[in-house]
Structure formats: C-alpha cells, structure tokens
C-alpha cells in the first residue's frame, strides 16, 4: 500500500533557491513566498560553496501547513524568534565556540520561544499535560544523549546534554529523567509552565475532531494527522571551526497524544544524527515515519555508503521513503553545505555561515 | 580514542561453521565448545545456501561472557529453552504461518523462560523493580511497534505488536504503555511476577561493585559494563513462505539500571529492524552503542547501499563500528541466509530452516 503512495511523489519539482547577499534577509513577510509550484513533492533550499566555511549553522521551528494569510505580526514574531535564536548560535561559533554549545544554546532559545512546540509553548497531551522529548549528538565522538516524556524540565535539550556527558546512558525517559535533571541541578518548573492558550485551543480542536471521527474506527497505523497539523518541533545543526558537527532536536510531540507516546525527536538515528564524516541532521514531521525509516541515520548512510550528496540523500529519503507531506529535515555536511528540505507547505528555518550567508525563511 | 580500539579488532578470525545434518544438534554441553581461538574479535555462524528455503528462523537469548564451567544442568536448561522456543516458531512457519506470528510466539516463549533477561527472569533496576522493553517490525510494510519501561505486562512483545497494529504510534513508554496494554485486554501481572532469586543476587553484586567503585568518579559515557555482565536480551527473526521478514526483541535491560533508562531493544533501527528487500535483525549488547550506531538499520543500509552481504554487513558493524565486546546480532536476509555474530565470548542462539538445518548453540 505504501508503494502506491510513492508513485505520485516521483514527479516532484525541485526548487533550489540561491543565497542572498550578506546580511540581507530575503523574502520578509508576504514577499517570503517565492512560490513556484504549490504542488511540488519536496521543497529544498541548498546552500553550497566550493570551500568549507569556518562555521555554519541551520535551525528549524517545525514543518507543516503554515497559513500564508496569517496576520503579519504573527509571521514576524516567528521570524524574529528564529533570527534571535540563530544569532545566539552565530555568536558562539564566530567566537570559536563548539558546535555542541551552539546547538544547545540555539535550542534553549527556541524552547523559550512560546510559538514553537518545544519547551514553553509545547502542545498538550490527551490528558491536558505536557510531555517533552529532546536529543543531542556530537558528530566527533558519536556521544549522544536524550530525554523522553519529561514533564518538569524547562530546557529538555540541556537535560539531554547532561545524559550524554554525565551518564553512560543515551536515553532516559519519564519520571527517572525528570529526577535525573533534578539531581544535576536543573531548576524544575511546574508542568503548567509550558502551557499557552494557543496550544490549549489546539487541544480542544483536536479532541473535537477526534470525537467527530473516532466513532467510526480506531486510529490506524500510519494514519496521517489532520491536514492542519503543524510539526512544531525545533532543531539545530552546527559545524564549528574545528570541523565538528553537532545536531539536536526538541519537541512537545503531537497535540492530543496518548500518554507515553514517544516520537522521533529523542531517538538517535530517527530525529537526530551527527557524524563528522558525513553530516548532522535534525528532523521534524510525523515522528513514527521518521523512526520507521531511521531518517536522520539513513541520510548519513546514503552519503557514506550510497555516494550521495547531503542534498541528494535528503531528497531521496523524504521523497522516496517517507509518505507525502511527512515533514522536513535540516542538515549540514562535513564541508559546510547546508540543506533544509521538506514535503509540507512550509518549514520555519534559518541558517548562517561564516562566509556571510544568512537567511530566515518560512516558505520557499 | 574509539578508533584506537579498532586497531586490535582488524585481526579477527572468522569462524564459519557448516550446518549439521537434519535434526542433529551439534555441540551439546561441553562438546559445544568447538573453539578455535578465544581471542578472536568476532565470532560468526553463517548458514548459506543457493536457493531460498521455504522458511527460516533464528533466535537469541543474549550475548556476553558465558562461563563454560557452569553446571551441565544449567547449560542444558538454556539449550532446552532455546529449542522449545524455536520449535514454536518452526511449527508456525512450517504450517504456512506468518513470520510476524512466529517471531511473536518465539519471543513470548523466551519471555516466559526465567533464565533469560526478558519477561519473567528480567533483571532488577537500581530501585529493585523491573522495567521491560520490546519491539517488533514487519519487513513487508515497515509497520513497527514498541514499548519501553513497562512494569505490568507479562509479554511485552505482544504489547509491542498491539502498538503496531492498534495505534498510529510506534513507541509507547512507561505508565501510558502499561495502561494501553490494559485497555487492549492483556492481563496485567504484578511487577514482582518478573522477579527471580538469581537476578536479585546479580543486583546485589552489581550494587556492591558500584559502591566499591563509584567513590572515585561518576560513570562515564561509553564506559563498558563489568566483564561478567551478560546481555540477556532475547530476540527472533523469521522469514515466511511468502518471503516476508519480521524481527523482534525483548529485554529487561541492564542490571541495576537507573529508573527510566531505555536501551536499544525498543528502538526501531537500533535493536530491531526488518525490511523484506534486505534483512531482519535483532541485536543484544550494550544498548547505548547499538543506538549510537543504529546497528540494526545500519546492517540493512550496508546491504542496500553498500553492496554487502548480510554476513559482511554484520561483521563490518560489529567489528568496525562498535567497541570490542559490545554484543551480537542475529539476522536473516531476503534469500534465507541466516547469521548469528557476536564479539562477546558467547551468545545463546538457535536457528532452523525448512531445508532441515537446525541448531542450538552457546559458543562457537
């Protein structure tokens, strides 16, 4: 059945957007939509160059159906949050800091920004609570850490880093993970800290749809979420001056999710992967599909074993392995090429390189 | 640092054992040790043939340091449990049943066998409780399901199958997963159901070692567990007459583990993977290393993109990606070749094929 879907994907139109001049922010607001074809299967922004930049960074605030008719102030608020988070990373990398530090600090900023589904502003579970997931990986050592289903950690990405650095484990989940963060001295917040009115409305709408729909049949495996679902996961990938790649991802998961549901964000190889020899990747989308196809690792493997470029590998996985509209990825390869690619209608994202390229985008 | 380890690994001696005649059980008891070189970096048993058998199955009860001087009755009990579980799978496959059913039923049998670290007989957490993980994948559809940190489900593999078949999720963890199993009508058991005296002694010994050692420094990332650690995870891979591969894994995790620690067994791509086009894999070992290197998926990717055979891919990942003595894998490729390979001193395992090959082994 899955293979039938794929037929319609092979006709995709690839859009490559050239980099703007230094400091210029292309496509602000409404002008952002340099759309050529709304029906293309995969949209990509590729930043390539001949020589490796001293550093590079790319971040995302989720992919999905992002209405273009939103109020300008909403669009601008998202753009400003992306830009502010990016600047934190740029500042670290430009001063010779590590990609790990840049990734952690950028994601902390995005976790604090209430418009993204991570940290404060995370979506609600079916039970009306918040369960957060995050992971982080060091492409130099393959060290990695993750937390899943945490409820009282303000910055899950920092807890993931502590799992990486202070334990021999990779993944801690649930109360044990909250307790670990507490032991490590991270200040706990009440679960309501993460709540916002906007997300509460989303929960109510989702539960109404569920009541309308679920009379008929139980949720099926691989069922796509409602069309207006946005995958607000945040993530960041960075390359530092020592050539070290790092990648991280943080999320509140799916609105109205069942207690205990874990998506791809805390799964190394699915939502996050970094290997200095290939690339760093952070994904956002239908987490179950990203797990099933080991998306982040598979892109790395296609570079390592399949002779693909980062952009080719990302395109292949998003278009030929995943179902339509399943989400997007950001990545940087070992030579500093940046990619952001998605099969949804848009993805909140931004990137910068030491050679002056800098961009904040929502659509093409 | 990791790469320094690898130098000593490249001198490994590969032991290929030919299949015995139908019904013959090679190497019972002490005679089991057809050892040629105890210092080899990787041991493998490969069963190859020209044409695809009607069905094939392989299972494991964990890899690790398995003392050869154990009482004969202990060794025989392990062998009998492996054989009984295998026969359940053989019976299903031989009657035309699916590989998914065979894998689930074999793992249920191993979960019931108290000598393996899965279901009853699972190891104790640091807190003196049991937290169980399991996953299952269908190589035909890429459908998959998993549970992590469950405490009251007698057969976690069946809960994993229900996640796969009855939800749109892949991974449910903690109380939410226990609750889901309950809703699905799986009879709950008290957590003490899983307890055995043998595992309680292991916990006490581990905690004593921890007290002796941990004065000095906190546990480091990638630290290897004590030498006498056994990875008692169980798993099964099967190929049915329709050419469909399935793989599953179930475990109690690490003795004395921190609450909430999740290893590779419930992580699709790490401990379990199945793809009809390549292979099915179940792993056992230091879960963190299997996650970090996406072991099960990486073997599949090396077949798909790297032009390797199943055996070559398994050897490459175990010897060149993982640290020494990290564990083992079992697998079956699309044409019915069976492999079991490990870098520990032994692995409990058994396999059978429709062409009459049948074997139960612990060491070479």
Nearest to A358 by CA among A60, A20, A5, A64: A20
CA distance B271 to B266: 7
Q: State whether ipTM is beyond 0.90.
A: no
pLDDT in tens, B153-185: 999 999 999 999 999 999 999 999 999 999 999
Rounded distance between C-alpha atoms, residue B101 and residue A76, angstroms:
53
Considering only CB atoms, A291 lies closest to which of B257, B260, B269, namely B269
pLDDT digits (tens, 9 = 90+) for B297-355: 999 999 999 999 999 999 999 999 999 999 999 999 999 999 999 999 999 999 999 99
- Provide the token pair at B101: 């059913």
- Active-site pick, B125, B152, B158, B233: B233
User: Could you tell me the CA-to-CA distances from A274 to A136, A251, A282, B317 in Å, in that order?
Assistant: 9, 18, 9, 17
E strand residue ranges, chain A:
43-47, 56-64, 132-138, 144-150, 171-173, 230-231, 234-239, 245-251, 261-262, 272-274, 279-285, 327-333, 338-342, 346-353, 358-361
Q: Quick one: angle between helices B174-183 and B156-166, nearest 10?
A: 80
The model's pTM: 0.86
Q: How far is B348 from chain A (nearest CA, A)?
A: 25
Q: How sure is the predictor about A119, in pLDDT bands with cuts at 50, 70 and 90? A: very high
For residue B201, pLDDT over 80 is answered with yes
Tens of pLDDT, residues B38-55: 334 577 777 655 589 999
Phi, psi (deg, nearest 5) at residue B97: -70, 175
Of A343, A264, A122, which Cα lies nearest the Cα of B169? Answer: A264
Interface test with A, best of B163, B219, B223, B259 (most A CBs within 10 A): B259
What is the predicted pLDDT for the residue at A18? 33
The predicted-structure confidence for A28-76, as pLDDT tens digits, reads as follows 333 333 333 333 457 777 766 558 999 999 999 999 888 888 899 999 9
**pLDDT value of position A35:** 33
Burial of A216 (0-12, 13-18, 19+ CB in 10 A): exposed
Q: In the block, which residue shows the tokens 């567990």?
A: B225
Mutation for A interface: B152, B217, B218, B221, most A CBs within 10 A: B221
Burial class (CB in 10 A: 0-12, 13-18, 19+), A239: buried
- CA atoms of A108 and A296, how far apart (whole Å): 21
pLDDT digits (tens, 9 = 90+) for B97-151: 999 999 999 999 999 999 999 999 999 999 999 999 999 999 999 999 999 999 9
Q: Report yes or no: B274 and B247 within 8 Å, Cβ to Cβ.
A: yes
User: Is B35 a known active-site residue?
Assistant: no
pLDDT band, very low/low/confident/very high, at B64 (cuts 50, 70, 90): confident
Q: Which secondary-structure segment (H or E) carries A360? A: strand A358-361
Q: How far is CA A277 from the centre of its chain?
A: 21
pLDDT in tens, A303-332: 999 999 999 999 999 999 999 999 999 999
Q: Which of B165, B174, B297 sits opposite A269 (nearest CB)?
A: B297
Better-predicted residue by pLDDT, A258 or A267: A267
Tell me the residues of chain A between 142 and 161 that have a Cβ less than 8 Å away from chain B. Answer: 142-144, 148-149
Confidence of residue A211 (pLDDT cuts 50, 70, 90): confident
The DSSP 8-state label assigned to residue A319 in this structure reads I
Size of the A and B interface in Cβ pairs below 8 Å: 167
pLDDT at A348 over 50: yes
Say which residue the tokens 């019976």 belong to: B91
> Do the chains contact at B287 and A179, CB–CB below 8 Å?
no
For residue B175, give the nearest of A175, A33, A360 by alpha carbon: A175
Give the Cβ contact number of residue A189 at 10 Å: 15
Mutate to test the interface with B, among A1, A135, A169 (most CBs of B within 10 A): A169
Q: Do B287 and A1 touch (CB under 8 A)?
A: no
Q: Which pairing describes strands A171-173 and A144-150: parallel, antiparallel, or unpaired?
A: parallel
User: Does the beta-carbon distance from A297 to B297 stay under 8 Å?
Assistant: yes
Which pLDDT value is given to residue A41? 56
Distance from CA of B120 to the nearest CA of A (A): 22
Of B303, B284, B295, which is closest to residue B320 (Cα–Cα)?
B295
Provide the chain B residues 317-346 that lie in CB contact (below 8 A) with chain A. none
Listed range (A110-114, A285-289, A342-346, B207-211) with the worst mean pLDDT: B207-211
Higher pLDDT, B305 or A221: B305
State the angle between helix axes of A295-304 and B295-304 in degrees (0 to 180), rounded to the nearest 10.
Answer: 40
Which residues in chain A are contacts of B184 at CB distance < 8 A?
A: none
| DSSP-derived secondary structure letter, B37 | -
């Amino acid at each position: 059945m899955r293979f039938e879907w794929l037929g319609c994907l092979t006709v995709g139109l690839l859009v490559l957007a050239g980099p703007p001049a230094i400091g210029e922010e292309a496509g602000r607001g409404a002008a952002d939509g340099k759309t050529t074809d709304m029906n293309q299967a995969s949209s990509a922004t590729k930043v390539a160059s001949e020589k490796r930049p001293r550093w590079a960074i790319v971040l995302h605030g989720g992919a999905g159906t992002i209405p273009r008719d939103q109020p300008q102030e909403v669009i601008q608020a998202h753009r400003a949050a992306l830009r502010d988070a990016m600047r934190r990373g740029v500042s670290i990398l430009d001063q010779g800091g590590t990609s790990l530090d840049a990734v952690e600090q950028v994601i902390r900023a995005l976790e604090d920004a209430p418009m993204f589904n991570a940290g404060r502003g995370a979506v609600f579970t079916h039970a009306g609570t918040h369960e957060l997931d995050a992971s982080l990986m060091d492409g130099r050592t393959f060290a990695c850490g993750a937390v899943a289903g945490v409820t009282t950690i303000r910055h899950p990405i920092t807890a993931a880093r502590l799992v990486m650095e202070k334990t021999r484990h990779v993944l801690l989940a649930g109360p044990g993970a909250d307790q670990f963060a507490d032991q490590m001295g991270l200040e706990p917040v009440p679960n309501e800290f993460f709540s916002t009115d906007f997300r509460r409305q989303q929960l109510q709408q989702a539960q109404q749809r569920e009541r309308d729909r679920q009379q008929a049949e139980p949720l099926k495996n691989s069922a796509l979420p409602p069309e207006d679902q946005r995958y607000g996961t945040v993530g960041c990938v960075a390359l530092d001056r020592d050539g070290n790649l790092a990648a991280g991802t943080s999320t509140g998961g799916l609105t109205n999710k069942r207690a205990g549901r874990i998506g791809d964000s805390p799964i190394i190889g699915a939502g996050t992967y970094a290997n200095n020899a290939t690339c760093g990747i952070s994904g956002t989308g239908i987490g179950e599909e990203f797990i099933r196809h080991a998306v982040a690792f598979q892109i790395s493997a296609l570079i390592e074993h399949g002779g693909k470029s980062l952009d080719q590998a990302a395109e292949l996985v998003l278009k030929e392995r995943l179902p339509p509209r399943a989400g997007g990825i950001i990545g940087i390869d070992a030579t500093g090429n940046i990619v952001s690619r998605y099969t949804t209608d848009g993805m909140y994202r931004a990137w910068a390189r030491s050679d002056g390229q800098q961009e904040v985008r929502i659509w093409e």
